Amino acid sequence: QVQLTESGGGLVQAGGSLRLSCAASGRSFNSMGWFRQPPGKEREFVVAIRWTDGLTVYADSVKGRFTISRDNAKNTLYVQMNSLKPEDTAVYYCAAGTVVPGTSLRSDNKYGYWGQGTQVTVSS
């Protein structure tokens, strides 16, 4: 079993920055990612990383502003979020799973483990 514990959410003004962390217990996965659910909307992909080789995939909406990283020793995933916009407001979820090489990291159905979510609110 894998347990994911997120931290780092909060309230920030537009243009500001936040860093989310996701600590994972266990290593029964080869990929991790961040998804978000804006108020009244469906959950959407944000960014993901393949743990084995560091391959990263970003949603177009966050490319150039968000950076995903990992600390193998701490089994922890991060996302540095810069130049935040009000439309980034959402509950952010960390996810982990075993994604077959050659298939998309963007699909939430590839991830079997999810964190509890952390709220990010960006004020205008």
Closest CA to 95 of 33, 11, 8: 33
C-beta of residue 45 within 8 angstroms of C-beta of residue 29? no
Q: How far apart are CA 42 and CA 49, in angstroms?
A: 22
pLDDT band at 6 (very low <50, low <70, confident <90, very high): very high
pLDDT in tens, 19-75: 999 999 977 899 999 999 999 999 999 999 998 889 999 999 999 999 999 998 899
* pLDDT value, residue 101: 84
- Strands 3-7 and 18-25, bridge-based pairing: antiparallel
DSSP labels for 79-99? EEE-S--GGG-EEEEEEEE-P
Residue 55 structure tokens: 């391959």
C-beta of residue 88 within 8 angstroms of C-beta of residue 81? yes
Dihedral angle sign, alpha carbons of residues 39, 108, 83, 79: positive
